[in-house]
Amino acid sequence: MTRARVWAIAAGSLAVLVLIAAVWIARGQRPASRLAGHPSCGQAVNVGLNYDSQPPGCLWQAYTSGGGADAIMVNYTTEGDPVTYNVDIVSKARIQVSIQSQDRYGPQGYFTYVCQTMTRQPVAQLPGRFYLVLTGCSGPPDFLDGSRLTIP
Structural domain count of the chain: 1
State the average pLDDT for the chain. Answer: 83
| Closest C-alpha to 98, from 146, 29, 43 | 29
Specify the pLDDT at position 126: 83
Fill in the amino acid letter for 77.
T
Specify the pLDDT at position 92: 92
What's the pLDDT tens digit per position in 68-88? 999 999 999 999 999 999 999
Per-residue pLDDT in tens (0 to 9) along the chain, 152 residues: 666 554 445 444 444 444 444 444 444 444 444 444 578 999 999 998 889 999 999 999 999 999 999 999 999 999 999 999 999 999 999 999 999 999 999 999 999 999 999 999 998 888 888 999 999 999 999 999 999 999 98
CA atoms within 13 A on the CB side of 58: 19
Domain holding 147, by residue range, is 3-151
- Strands (DSSP E) contained in the chain are 40-46, 69-76, 82-91, 94-102, 108-115, 117-122, 130-135, 144-145, 148-151
CA separation for the pair 135, 152 (Å, rounded):
14
CA separation for the pair 118, 134 (Å, rounded):
4
pTM of the model: 0.76
Polymer length of the chain: 152
C-alpha dihedral, 26 to 40 to 87 to 56, nearest 10°: 90
